[in-house]
């Protein structure tokens, strides 16, 4: 059986030369970081708990990817450049094949995003993965939730709803042909954090949030903080390729109320439309304009004729009534 320190050394301590920002990584009492001058440190934590965020027995490689991806998605939504992360891990046992797969999934995304593991904590307990990410963003360029403006366009990256569709299939509530389930499951298990887009939108977008709990609920956070309302054109919403084969009502429901999309929802002034499209092209990430912001409060969903129809938000809430 591996000791705690052997486990850390074997799976999580990868010797690396100091880089521009990480002066000292795993192995001391603290890691030491030197964020670029004139930048703010952006910090965010997300926890994944077995039985709550993922099924018992879930593929450890996918878990490694997802645990980091959901955190990187928060940096993306702030316009921050990924810099470093810590990993707090509770494990029922030191299962080496589990650890090797988990580390592979996590580090392949870390390497792709240019972010380094600089420390953490390891303990025995029910499986629980908690990552804290650190990024940097130039002062005054963070994409804050309270910075949306009246008259802004509302945009979303990529596509929505496929992760929710995959979850319904895994829960036995729905079925999909294999080739579509493969596509949808990839969205659920291996989300792509939109870091390049978040950074490209600095100085262009006003406010951004990542869509983790459902578009309506997450957009609601921007609106509440910015004290504004929104109109969404239902027909403009971009369905995932699997969801696009479903009846229209279901598409609209999952795009508005699904979860686990990890796309960016952001606002930008209409005169920046070309700049948004250029930023999206440079980040190789498609974006769609889905509505606009106004005064007042709440979200109106408009049909193709511009008529408002009622749609309830049932965004995910861990302490909500229906759980």
Binding site for Mg ion (CB under 5 A): 121
Chain position carrying tokens 């957009």? 219
Rg of the chain, C-alpha, whole Å? 20
28: partner contacted, choices ligand ADP, Mg ion, none (Cβ within 5-8 A by kind): ligand ADP
Q: Residue 190 in 3-state DSSP?
A: coil
CB of 119 to Mg ion, least distance (A): 8
Burial 200-218 (b: 16+ CB within 10 A, else e): bbbebbbbbbbbbbbbbbb
26: partner contacted, choices ligand ADP, Mg ion, none (Cβ within 5-8 A by kind): ligand ADP
Interaction between residue 117 and ligand ADP (CB under 6 A): yes
Find the binder of ligand ADP among 6, 19, 96, 121 (CB under 6 A). Answer: 121
Q: Spell out, one character per residue from 122 to 161, where the chain touches ligand ADP: x when CB under 6 A holds, - when not.
A: x---------------------------------------
139: partner contacted, choices ligand ADP, Mg ion, none (Cβ within 5-8 A by kind): none
Q: Which residues contact 300 (CB under 8 A, 6 or more apart)?
A: 229, 230, 231, 232, 308
CB of 260 to ligand ADP, least distance (A): 24
Q: Which residue is nearest to Mg ion (CB)?
A: 121
303: partner contacted, choices Mg ion, ligand ADP, none (Cβ within 5-8 A by kind): none
Interaction between residue 120 and ligand ADP (CB under 6 A): yes
Long-range contacts of 168-172 (CB under 8 A, 24+ apart): 170/55
DSSP for 239-297, please give it. B-TTGGGS-HHHHHHHHHH-----EEEEEE-GGGHHHHHHHHHHTT--EEEEEEEESSS
Among positions 168-187, residues that touch ligand ADP (CB under 6 A) are: none
Q: Spell out, one character per residue from 1 to 40, where the chain touches ligand ADP: x when CB under 6 A holds, - when not.
A: -------x---x-------------xxxx-----------
Q: Spell out, one character per residue from 74 to 103, where the chain touches ligand ADP: x when CB under 6 A holds, - when not.
A: -------------x-x--------------
Helix or strand holding residue 289 (H, E): strand 287-294
CB of 155 to ligand ADP, least distance (A): 36
- In 3D space, the residue among 99, 103, 106, 35 whose CA is nearest the CA of residue 70 turns out to be 106
Q: Which residues contact 172 (CB under 8 A, 6 or more apart)?
A: none
Strand 207-211 relative to strand 128-138: parallel, antiparallel, unpaired? unpaired
140: partner contacted, choices ligand ADP, Mg ion, none (Cβ within 5-8 A by kind): none
120: partner contacted, choices Mg ion, ligand ADP, none (Cβ within 5-8 A by kind): ligand ADP
Helices and strands (H and E) in the chain: how many? 9, 13
Burial 293-319 (b: 16+ CB within 10 A, else e): bbeeeebbbbeeeeeeeebebbbbeee
Residue closer to Mg ion by CB (options 6, 121) is: 121
CB of 121 to Mg ion, least distance (A): 4
Interaction between residue 106 and ligand ADP (CB under 6 A): no
Q: Is 33 exposed, middle or buried (0-12, 13-18, 19+ CB in 10 A)?
A: middle
Q: Total residues at the site for ligand ADP (CB under 6 A)? A: 13
Among positions 231-270, residues that touch ligand ADP (CB under 6 A) are: none
Q: Under the rule (CB under 6 A), what is the footprint of ligand ADP? A: 8, 12, 26-29, 87, 89, 117, 119-122
């Amino acid at each position: 059986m591996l000791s705690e320190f052997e486990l850390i050394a074997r799976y999580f301590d990868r010797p690396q030369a100091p880089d521009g920002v990480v002066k000292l990584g795993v192995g001391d009492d603290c890691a030491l970081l030197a964020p670029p001058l004139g930048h703010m440190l952006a910090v965010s934590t997300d926890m994944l708990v077995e039985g709550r965020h993922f099924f018992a027995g879930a593929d450890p490689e996918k878990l490694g990817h997802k645990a980091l991806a959901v955190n990187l998605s928060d940096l993306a939504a702030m316009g921050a450049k990924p810099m470093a992360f810590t990993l707090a891990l509770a494990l029922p046992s030191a299962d080496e094949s589990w650890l090797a797969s988990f580390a592979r999934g996590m580090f392949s995304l870390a390497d792709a995003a240019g972010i380094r593991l600089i420390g953490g904590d390891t303990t025995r307990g029910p499986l629980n993965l908690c990552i804290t990410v650190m990024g940097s963003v130039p002062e005054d360029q963070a994409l804050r939730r309270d910075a949306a403006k009246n008259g802004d366009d509302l945009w979303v990256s990529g596509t929505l709803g496929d992760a929710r569709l995959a979850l319904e299939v895994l829960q036995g509530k729905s079925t999909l042909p294999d080739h579509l389930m493969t596509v949808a499951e990839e969205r659920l298990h291996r989300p792509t954090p939109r870091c390049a887009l978040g950074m490209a939108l600095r100085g262009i977008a006003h406010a951004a949030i990542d869509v983790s709990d459902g578009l309506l609920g997450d957009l609601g956070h921007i609106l509440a903080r910015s004290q504004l309302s929104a109109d969404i054109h239902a027909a403009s919403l971009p369905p995932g390729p699997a969801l696009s084969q479903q009846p229209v009502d279901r598409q609209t429901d999952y795009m508005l109320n699904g979860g686990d999309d990890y796309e960016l929802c952001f606002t930008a002034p209409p005169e920046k439309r070309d700049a948004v499209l250029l930023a999206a092209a440079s980040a190789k990430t498609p974006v769609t304009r889905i509505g606009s912001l106004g005064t007042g409060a709440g979200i109106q969903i408009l049909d193709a004729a511009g008529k408002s129809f009622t749609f309830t938000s049932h965004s995910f809430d861990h302490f909500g009534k229906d759980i």
